[in-house]
Amino acid sequence: MVQRDPVPPSGPRAVLVPPCPLGALWAVRHGESTANAAFAEAERSGRAARPVPGRDRDVPLTATGAAQARALGRWLADREPATGPDLVVCSPYRRARQTWDGMADTAAGTRGASLPVLVDERLRDRETGVHELWPPALLRERAPEDAARRERVGEWWYRPPGGEALTDVAVRVGQFVTDLGAAAPGRRVLLVAHDAVVVALRQVLAGIGAEAPDRVPPVPNASVSHWRDDGHGRLRLAVWGGTDHLGPARPPAPDGG
């Protein structure tokens, strides 16, 4: 019997957006980290890159990242008590925790500084396995076959040896959202995490059948993405990667910390 490729369905793509009992959701990417700065410098200079030392979960903020966290704190302090976040869930990684600490310190004296805070391991950054804290230039230099595979399959589907694809991140983020909705219905939740988590969140909340992105949308450091209740018990994207609170726009920092 001759095998034929399946014929793609005609007409508009069907998407089912499941209900979400949360009142609203904000997702913040941490401020600039030392790994972000090292990766950007390696790309700018063209010099031979080296791995950033240490563990990914221990990467701290730069001075710029700390300033961005304070700007986020001013953004938080400006939220109306009745419509702003009333619960915070943070990644366990150092740069995310430092971002929240900077936000809370800056918002001291307002209700933003006293919000209840939880930490959940499922909000950790994408795991990059044997290439942990490798700048992209180093991957191209030391593992050209894997770099070519990353380019060929696309960023959404690329899984480094021993690490995660963004599809894997979406699975754990999806379960987190389900659990969060069950545990905190009606709450207005602020997440402080990583670009991979924010991108995965966008895919999860887009609904069942939502098309995976050919190009992963950029998530600037210290940006705020916002989903609000559409009046029918579903969260809809209202703002993606907003950075107005930071002043003049800066390009997104490379992945990796």
Separation of alpha carbons 206 and 123, rounded Å: 18
Sign, CA torsion 250/251/254/256: positive
- Domain residue ranges in the chain: 24-33+63-128+162-246
SS3 at position 11: coil
pLDDT at 236 (0 to 100): 95
Separation of alpha carbons 70 and 154, rounded Å: 35
SS3 at position 169: helix
Separation of alpha carbons 181 and 201, rounded Å: 13
The answer to whether the CB of 214 falls within 8 A of the CB of 202 is no
Chain segment 102-143, per-residue pLDDT in tens: 999 999 876 555 899 999 999 999 999 999 999 988 898 899
In 81-217, beta strands by DSSP E: 87-90, 117-119, 188-193
Percent of the chain with pLDDT over 70: 89
pLDDT at 253 (0 to 100): 61
pTM of the model: 0.90
**127: its two tokens:** 């795991």
Number of Cβ atoms within 10 Å of the Cβ of 85: 22
Chain segment 78-110, per-residue pLDDT in tens: 998 899 999 999 999 999 999 999 999 999 876
How many contiguous H segments (helices) and E segments (strands) does the chain have? 7, 6
Sign, CA torsion 173/174/175/177: positive
Edge to edge, the sheet with strand 24-29 lists 117-119, 87-90, 188-193, 24-29, 224-229, 235-242
**48: its two tokens:** 């031979």
Q: What top-level class would CATH report for the domain 24-33+63-128+162-246?
A: alpha beta
| pLDDT score of 77 more than 50 | yes
Chain segment 17-29, per-residue pLDDT in tens: 999 999 999 999 9
The answer to whether the CB of 61 falls within 8 A of the CB of 33 is yes
pLDDT at 1 (0 to 100): 40
Work out the mean pLDDT of the chain and round it to a whole number: 91
| pLDDT score of 9 more than 90 | no
Q: Which residue has the higher pLDDT, 137 or 244?
A: 244
The answer to whether the CB of 65 falls within 8 A of the CB of 99 is yes
